[in-house]
Structure 1
Amino acid sequence: MHGGELSGESITPRTGAAVVFYNPDAACVERANRLAATMHCVVVDNTPSVRAARELGLSDAVEYLPNGENVGIATAINQGVEALIRGGFEVAILFDQDSEPPASLFTELPMVIARANASGDRVALAGPAYDDARLRGIAPFVRFKWWTLERIAPEGDQPIDVDFLISSGSCINLRWWSSIGPMEDALFIDFVDLEWCVRATQKGFRVLGVPWVRMSHELGGEPVRVLGRAYPMHSPLRHYYQFRNVIALMKRSSMPMTWKSTELIKLPVRIVIYCFFPEQRKEHFAMVWRGVRDGWSGRLGVYRHG
């Protein structure tokens, strides 16, 4: 058994899934239906229109929460988690609508949480390694260091303490949800998972990468290659949120100085790549600049024109 033997009193915690939709296609709906056949599944739909679950093709087993507008990934995750808490679940596994989790994820990650709870270990989150074939294959886990990230190969049969995990595929220990607090609504989309992980670790909780669980996951749109390296590309609007939120978080005293130092190195590189290499260069540059400006002034929430 990975990660040490379970004690006799440790049992698999009641586990549910929260999936965030945004303009889902038929494949996204089918993935949610398959998930609902194996565990309780809450689908939070951020699509800017209200449709019935049956109109979408969702199974009756899915708990469907349509927002009728894009309220952001943070708010949608919070809604899904709160629905699972109301249902008496102990663990919430988060998914983007296009995530392809392996079967092992649904047993291995909750059992990491179960072992932690049985031993009195304060583990807030456990997550898989992820594989994006378009970028660099299996991504390493990371810790914050001065001016760089420490990259840790996802190897071995023990969980690895890390500084943050991406939200999709991660497993939240709901025992500590109220102690840590919900995802930050005002960030809307980018750096939501990072801010929550930082908050959790600063309150004395652990964030664990689980190296023997691997999930396929694509970051962003079609990547661009610069000097032989692939960078995930996004829309101008996503770049607005990325740059706005990184500037806003860098101004906070609560964020680690090690992380800030790394972002200071990355920022000019990102500006060059995301403003001068994609198509629609003017649009990307305008939204990046607006994001920097709004982040500096502390203007968060959903993007508003003007």
Structure 2
Amino acid sequence: MIKIGLVTVLYKSDDVLEDFFKSLSLQSFKNYHLYLIDNSPSAETDNLIEILSTKYPLTSYTHVKNTSNDGVAKGNNQGIKLALNDNSDFVLLLNNDIDFNQTFLLDEMINYAISNNENLLIPKIYYHGTRKIWLAGGKIHKYKGYASHVGYNKDDSEVYNSIKYFDYAPTCFMLISRKVFEAVGLMDENYFVYYDDTDYLARAVEKGFKVCYLPKLEVFHKVSFSTGGGESLFSIYYLNRNRVYFVRKNYPFLVRQIALSHTILTRLIKYLIYKKDEKKTLLKAIKDGFSIKITQ
């Protein structure tokens, strides 16, 4: 029987865990193991997980308590390695600030993957509590150095209801076959957070894989719950630092120069409208992005 390892990274996630546990407990597919990689462990979280696992029974889970917050990429790698060592056929990387009501969701993803020899699969993802799309596929814009979501902020419509293939999607909810990890390896831990999935998908596409979008399947995302939003100092730093690093790492000379030029020019516009702390954070981000030693 096919086995899935579910990997989610916790960071001060107590407020969203009940919906997460409830969604998993309702799934008709039961041959999974959940790896809770906790970057902010506490006695309160321990107690909450015990309560929720009783209220919303799961097949099985492991709660890994890290002594420091070393980021999403490293946390995902911890869970991926545990899942592969436990002989999982697929790994589902998923946020915990999500919920999903379709009891057949995991069954459908697995069945489609097996029947059609697919290795990377995503559902349609809405903003939580709405029918407004957060994700219906994705695309990497290599000459600009960033990735975008198809359907972002759009009302759902028939346009987004066809099975399609893409070269990018975030790992908010992505089913990945063992074959992909064997060919591509693990995530680049230099990213900490943001662009770790962009980098991974760029590497997977280079190996011939593609992302299959299944619009029948639905997930609801409580966006930016753990990171403070797109324009927090935290996000300004990591989005910009990692964008520069991503371009330096993944593209040949000419594409790299074009993408870096576009990035710097658009950051200059941001700099002119930012407040003092934001300006300082942006400058440090760009400097650090050029300083990171390229790995993998």
Name the TM tier (shorter chain). 0.7 to 0.9
CA distance in 1, matches of 2:215, 2:10: 27
Aligned residues: CA RMSD: 3.5
Alignment partner for residue 201 of structure 2, among 194, 197, 212?
197
Alignment partner for residue 276 of structure 1, among 259, 273, 277?
273
CA distance in 2, matches of 1:272, 1:102: 42
Alignment partner for residue 170 of structure 2, among 161, 166, 173?
166
Further displaced range: 130-139 or 292-301? 130-139
> What is aligned with 2:186?
182
Q: 2:233 matched to 1:233? A: no
Alignment partner for residue 224 of structure 2, among 220, 227, 230?
220
Q: 2:89 matched to 1:126? A: no
Q: 2:253 matched to 1:290? A: no
Q: Is the 8 A contact 2:126 2:132 kept in 1?
A: yes
Alignment partner for residue 55 of structure 1, among 47, 50, 73?
47
CA distance in 1, matches of 2:64, 2:131: 35
Residue type at the aligned position of 1:298: I
Q: Is the 8 A contact 1:130 1:215 kept in 2?
A: yes
Q: Is the 8 A contact 1:93 1:172 kept in 2?
A: yes
Q: What's the secondary structure of 2:173's corresponding residue? A: coil
Q: Is the 8 A contact 1:45 1:67 kept in 2?
A: yes
Q: 2:161 matched to 1:155? A: yes
CA distance in 2, matches of 1:235, 1:199: 29
> What is aligned with 2:17?
28
Further displaced range: 26-35 or 82-91? 26-35
CA distance in 1, matches of 2:214, 2:81: 25
CA distance in 2, matches of 1:201, 1:282: 39
CA distance in 1, matches of 2:253, 2:124: 23
Alignment of 1:86-105 (within 5 A): 86-103=85-102, 104-105=104-105
Residue type at the aligned position of 2:203: R
CA distance in 2, matches of 1:20, 1:150: 22
Residue type at the aligned position of 1:71: D
CA distance in 1, matches of 2:131, 2:287: 32
> What is aligned with 2:137?
141
> What is aligned with 2:8?
19
Superposition deviation, residue 272 in structure 1: 4.5
Structure 1 unaligned residues grouped into runs of 5+: 1-11, 118-122, 223-231, 302-306
Superposition deviation, residue 57 in structure 1: 3.1
Cα offsets for 1:179-229 (capped at 9, x unmatched): 11001111111101111011011011222222222221143369xxxxxxx
Q: What's the secondary structure of 2:35's corresponding residue? A: strand
Q: What's the secondary structure of 2:288's corresponding residue? A: helix
Residue type at the aligned position of 1:287: T
Residue type at the aligned position of 1:137: K
Q: Is the 8 A contact 1:294 1:300 kept in 2?
A: no
Q: What's the secondary structure of 1:16's corresponding residue? A: strand
Q: Is the 8 A contact 1:53 1:64 kept in 2?
A: no
Percent identity (aligned) = 19
CA distance in 2, matches of 1:210, 1:255: 32
CA distance in 2, matches of 1:134, 1:261: 39
Aligned length: 270
Structure 2 unaligned residues grouped into runs of 5+: 55-59, 152-158
> What is aligned with 1:228?
none
> What is aligned with 1:81?
80
Q: 2:110 matched to 1:106? A: no
CA distance in 1, matches of 2:264, 2:160: 27
Superposition deviation, residue 236 in structure 1: 0.6
CA distance in 1, matches of 2:74, 2:14: 22
Q: What's the secondary structure of 1:287's corresponding residue? A: helix
Q: Is the 8 A contact 2:180 2:204 kept in 1?
A: no
Q: Is the 8 A contact 1:46 1:70 kept in 2?
A: yes
